[in-house]
Structure 1
Amino acid sequence: MAESQAAAVSSSTLKIDTVSISETAETASAMAVTSVAAAIAAAARTGSEARVSKAALAAKLLSLSGVFAVRKPKGPTSAELLNRLKEKLLAEAEMPSPEWTKRKKQTLKIGHGGTLDSAAQGVLVVGIGRGTKMLTSMLSGSKRYIAIGELGKATDTLDSTGKVTEEKPYDKITQEDIEGILQKFTGNIMQVPPLYSALKKDGQRLSTLMKRGEVVEAKPARPVTVYSISLQKFQPPFFTLDVECGGGFYIRSLVSDIGRELSSCASVLELTRTKQGPFTLEEHALPEDKWTIDDIAQCLEHCSSLLPAELALKKSKPEGTHEQVLSCEYITLNETKGEDDGIKTL
């Protein structure tokens, strides 16, 4: 009797355990299916959100329009730096995207005004969107430079990137001597542009012709304006100048002319543009780690207050729709009067 009861209990327990196990398995299976479905739904939402995010970034990039400034380091040319900026913006917006290739293309216009060569650093003014049309007006403003000149050494490019063409003594030159001649280079003066420059002959840059070894005649002297010039430091053979000038002025020519006026010779060792128009190096020039769509949008908003009233009124509206793909048009607008920094590498 006891054995029979025990068997019955055992059998009952077995049935309960079996049912429990079966129900647990079914529940687990259902939970797994639900989990997979949830994961798929979440992935779909994430993918959809990602597409929306990309489209929003692309639209915001295409809507950027105006003028701002970036901080150019030594090393790249102005053109190379602008290309780097363009690539960073494209990469952030992940443009162009494959799913948009069949749709109408939208061109992103971006350019710079006022070339700085590879050896120079400082403010580089950039126009984006319709801001590229403002660059010519921006170039009419003054520019400010800190230039370090080296006495006793002349080069074919008038800066440290060129070949030494002449060496003369400088040991008798004093601080008073330099300060005494600076007045000659202030105001409305005549200046001969350097041979290595962005100026053109028969459609080609003089610097390009020089690199080919072709004979190039110097351009005639032309009127330029120097608003102020001061000697900041003199530690022979080096002297530091703070110069504010108008468009078309060459700092390299200035330093070379100063050396000649002192019965010696001189060339530019370092050059930093600290101001162009209303943009200053410390307040407005974006460093490379700030080259993002949001940072540039904020900078454009801030810089709009710096523009002349006639330009601010022409602030452009976003062009195109969110469904347009981006292709790049690389535009460089150089001042027709010529630039005032080392141009050897151009």
Structure 2
Amino acid sequence: MANVNSVSLSRLNSLNGIFSIYKKQGPTSADVLNTLKNKLLKEAGVANPNCRKRKKQAVKIGHGGTLDSNASGVLVVGIGEGTKMLTTMLAGSKKYTAVGELGKATDTLDCTGSVVQENNYDHITREAFEEKLKEFTGEIMQVPPLYSALKKDGKRLSVLLKQGQEVEAKPARPVTVYNLTLQDFNPPLFTLDVECGGGFYVRSLVDDLGKALSSCAHIRELIRTKQGQFTLEEHVLREERWTFQDISQSLQPCPEPAPQQNNSKKNKPHRKPTQPGSESSAGDHNHITAEGSSADHND
């Protein structure tokens, strides 16, 4: 009788590279990754896979640039040796479409939290809003949200807060906003298109904008439309396409590894041309807190 499984575990483990999937609103990035693993393992004939157990994982998969549970859009995934390449292969900007609401601030800076402040917003015009956006474009300083994937003593700040522990805000840090435009303004709702570098939180941007406009605001909806070379329109695999065949066809392979240098000092001069320093410049673009942020969704 023919084998009903067209994919073997060995073929699955032969995949090396990165690809992108669509993360829907609701589950965490980790939940989405576990669903992906389960689908692939079941396709390979693994009975009752439990991807939450980290002992001897049958398939090596990781993601770059966490998206909040409330966020959706592009989530880049590395498989096999691709998990080691997420940082260097995600160099470039990220793009988001964010729907915000004026007049209400929440503790999480998005609609999943509790309202902690309400202010009038009748004085805010489209012209005033667009003028204020100029102050948030370019190299700016930003304080990350308390509810985020950033860690203190090895634990996520969001987890510590949910446990009732007191958490201090992280210090402001430099971030880059390449482009910031107001696409729609229908108070109290507004829609922003954001292009930013790594480590940037759109939730913090919206919260800061609300304050700068003498009101307050939070995010209602956040969609990541681009990360690195992957775009929502052209590259993401929807859940029905989380299969060996679809992934293998869309996989961006890992670069060929440089020749092993061993301990030979004679080979050192040949190493300089292959080390442009891109790893350090790309690191922030794959900031695991990214928001999305909140989740990073690097948010």
How many Å separate the matches in 1 of 2:196 and 2:110? 19
How many Å separate the matches in 2 of 1:211 and 1:237? 29
Superposition deviation, residue 215 in structure 1: 1.3
SS of 1:224 mapped into structure 2: strand
Q: Contact 2:290 / 2:296 at 8 angstroms: preserved in 1?
A: no
Whichever structure has more helix as a proportion of its residues is: 1
How many Å separate the matches in 2 of 1:248 and 1:220? 13
**Equivalent of 1:156, from 99, 104, 107?**
107
List alignment gaps of at least 5 residues for structure 2: 49-55, 259-284
Superposition deviation, residue 335 in structure 1: 4.6
1:127-179 deviation digits (Å, cap 9, x = unpaired): 00000001122344211000001000000000000000000000111110110
Superposition deviation, residue 106 in structure 1: 7.9
**Equivalent of 2:289, from 330, 333, 338?**
338
**Equivalent of 2:13, from 50, 62, 67?**
62
Distance 1:344 1:107, change over 3 A: closer
**Counterpart residue number, 1:204:** 155
1:291 corresponds to 2:234: no
Superposition deviation, residue 291 in structure 1: 0.7
Matches within 5 A, 1:107-256: 107-256=58-207
Amino acid at match of 1:220: P
Q: Contact 1:226 / 1:246 at 8 angstroms: preserved in 2?
A: yes
Amino acid at match of 1:313: E
Tell me which moved more, 176-185 or 132-141: 132-141
Superposition deviation, residue 80 in structure 1: 0.5
How many Å separate the matches in 2 of 1:281 and 1:65? 22
How many Å separate the matches in 2 of 1:173 and 1:121? 28
- How large is the RMSD of aligned CA atoms in angstroms? 2.2
1:266 corresponds to 2:217: yes
Q: Contact 1:157 / 1:344 at 8 angstroms: preserved in 2?
A: no
Superposition deviation, residue 344 in structure 1: 5.8
Superposition deviation, residue 339 in structure 1: 1.7
Q: Contact 1:77 / 1:345 at 8 angstroms: preserved in 2?
A: no
Distance 1:279 1:335, change over 3 A: closer
Distance 1:106 1:213, change over 3 A: closer
How many Å separate the matches in 1 of 2:191 and 2:238? 25
Q: Contact 1:111 / 1:132 at 8 angstroms: preserved in 2?
A: yes
SS of 2:182 mapped into structure 1: strand
Amino acid at match of 2:161: M
Q: Contact 1:139 / 1:247 at 8 angstroms: preserved in 2?
A: no
Amino acid at match of 1:239: F
Q: Contact 1:199 / 1:205 at 8 angstroms: preserved in 2?
A: yes
Matches within 5 A, 1:56-95: 56-95=7-46
Aligned length: 264
How many Å separate the matches in 2 of 1:92 and 1:256? 44
How many Å separate the matches in 2 of 1:158 and 1:123? 21
**Counterpart residue number, 1:10:** none
Amino acid at match of 2:155: Q
Distance 1:118 1:265, change over 3 A: same
1:164-209 deviation digits (Å, cap 9, x = unpaired): 0000000111110110011111111100111111111111111111
**Counterpart residue number, 2:256:** 313
Structure 2 length-normalised TM: 0.83
How many Å separate the matches in 1 of 2:159 and 2:9? 38
Superposition deviation, residue 117 in structure 1: 1.7
Superposition deviation, residue 342 in structure 1: 4.2
List alignment gaps of at least 5 residues for structure 1: 1-46, 98-104, 305-310, 316-333
Q: Which has the larger radius of gyration?
A: 1
Percent identity over the alignment is: 61
How many Å separate the matches in 1 of 2:238 and 2:257? 27
How many Å separate the matches in 2 of 1:257 and 1:135? 30
How many Å separate the matches in 1 of 2:165 and 2:286? 24
**Counterpart residue number, 1:3:** none
Q: Contact 2:19 / 2:77 at 8 angstroms: preserved in 1?
A: yes
SS of 1:340 mapped into structure 2: coil
Structure 1 length-normalised TM: 0.72
**Counterpart residue number, 1:278:** 229
